[in-house]
Amino acid sequence: MSYLACNWLDRCQRADLYIGSANALLYNACGGPIQAVADRLRNIFDQYSQLENRVTHALAHALVSDMSLRTAFSQQAARHETMGKPAIIVQDRSGQGDSVPDLTILDESGFRITMENKLQLDSVEADQLARHWKRVAYGGQQSGCVLVITPDLHEPKEVQGMRQDGANIRWVPWQQVYQWMMELGRRKPTAAIALAFCEYLRQVEGVLQKEGNDVMLSTFDGIDFKQGVRDDSQARSLLAHIRRHIESSGAMRQQFPGLNPQLGRKQSSYWTSIGLVRPASEEERSDPFNKHPHLTIEFEEAQFSAFIVLPHAARHEYKRRASEATLDAWRRVFADILEAILRLEEAPKPVPYVLIEQRHWITRKGAPTVDGKVEFTLDTLASSLKVDGKVKDNEKWFSVVPSLIRTSSQANIEVQVGLHYPYGRCEKVLGDRDFPDHLVQAIGTLQPFFRLLTDEPRT
């Protein structure tokens, strides 16, 4: 055994933790003495090929590294108030017997938690759980429980069925495991590995979502700028959390009654969109994204942005309303948005902006080529209402809006009216776990633009 492995085992023994084989666990569950045998917990650098096994491996090392974390996890997961000091953690993939659990925790009295972890929705197998329970019940019904961890939103029916048949089995969603780890890691500085595990779980979540799996393993705890928001997996995970919050928000549906998650586009690495208008015909349902105004949220290089888009291929009625709006009408729209933003409670406030861009595509699936664009903040309006008081009045920017929009029938013109959250200035707001609630209120300030396009009455 290498020096690193010997040192690791020595640390485990000094913490009253022993790492044993599956056979030793069976023996101990029946009342025999706890003993250290073959090392079954892989080296922390020795990873598995399957993502599911790698997550279990990371969880095992997190639990091994801190006794308080191990004890708190065991007591909460098993709901076993008399759970003693966990004595053994085993990660055994040797395939011995009919039951090969992902992880097993055994306390000093012989009570065991046999764990089965899944990363896919609806992936629990009743036969597999039955084999695990048979292994646990070998030492008596009160000798342990089976713990199932999945990303499902509701308890799998397989778990419910086994419990009805008398099995001591419990289901916990990954999001709850994530919350346990985050809370302990924040309370106890020495349990920093718990926070590291949570960060790893977010990265895995992003990988799964990139592969097309609509799973959530973590909860939204604010944007961690120490990790960098331009990290592919983190940005994708954060967008998924924010998007789900927007889609399920009653306040958002009240402000935008046509809100329909099915009409937008799922998140790429750094942006996602949500439909705000329901399609009126089968033709529109085939391309709802480009036919109606929609909401986009995006991680840009220096800022987070949320904006309502008038696409270049939008229906004629939206373009007509935008083109027919007078300069005074646009002034009222922008002034109403600015006034609503200043009423937001959180500070600093997001920066309201307008972007008008002309583009063309060389290939249908390629990136667009920008022919020209105008972008300015609403603080440039001649008004005493400003988010940034240092911005000078300059209505020349504002005056070009009607004339540019009127050219949209001859060119691929896209119009955005939205909010920028510069990372440096808005770090506190973005880093708050309640940021999605704030964002829903902030998106509501863009209603005047949406009403101008859709002719919706005020709510």
Question: Which one, of 345, 275, 324, lies nearest residue 453 by Cα?
Answer: 324
pLDDT confidence of residue 22: 33
Domain ranges for the chain: 3-195, 244-454
Q: Which helix (H) or strand (E) holds 273?
A: strand 271-275
Q: CB-hemisphere CA count at 13 Å for 144?
A: 30
Beta bridge partners of 298: 271, 305
Under a CB-based contact definition with an 8 Å cutoff, are residues 296 and 306 in contact? Answer: yes
- Edge-to-edge, what's the strand order for the sheet holding 103-107? 86-90, 103-107, 112-117, 144-150, 169-173
Phi, psi of 326 (to 5 degrees): -80, 170
Right CATH for 3-195 from 1.10.3470, 3.30.110, 3.40.50, 3.40.1350: 3.40.1350
pLDDT at 87: 61
Entry field: residues in the chain: 459
Site of tokens 């961890």: 149
Rg (CA), the chain: 28
Listed residue (90, 38, 85) closest to 61, CA to CA: 90
Using CA atoms, how far apart are residues 385 and 211, in angstroms rounded to an integer? 46
Are 168 and 211 within 8 A, CB to CB?
no
List, in sequence order, the alpha helices (H) in 274-413: 282-286, 288-291, 316-324, 327-342, 395-399, 401-405
How far is the C-alpha of 180 from the C-alpha of 197, rounded, in Å? 11
User: How many angstroms separate the CA atoms of 139 and 28, rounded?
Assistant: 9
User: Which class in CATH covers the domain with range 244-454?
Assistant: alpha beta
What's the confidence (pLDDT) of residue 226?
Answer: 63
Q: What is the mean pLDDT of each run of 10 residues along the chain (459 residues)?
A: 33 35 35 37 66 88 82 78 63 59 81 90 92 78 83 94 91 94 82 87 88 89 70 81 92 89 65 85 64 92 94 89 92 95 91 94 82 94 89 91 82 92 92 94 96 75
d(CA 319, CA 366): 25
pLDDT of residue 228: 57
Residue 295 near residue 273 (C-beta atoms within 8 A): yes
In angstroms, the CA 93 to CA 359 distance is 55
229 contacts 434 by C-beta, under 8 angstroms: no
Closest C-alpha among 100, 101, 95 to residue 114: 101
What ranges in 89-154 are assigned the alpha helix state H?
126-137
Spatial neighbors of 38 by CB under 8 A, at least 6 apart, are 20, 21
Q: DSSP letters along 134-151, please? A: HHHHTT-GGGEEEEEEE-
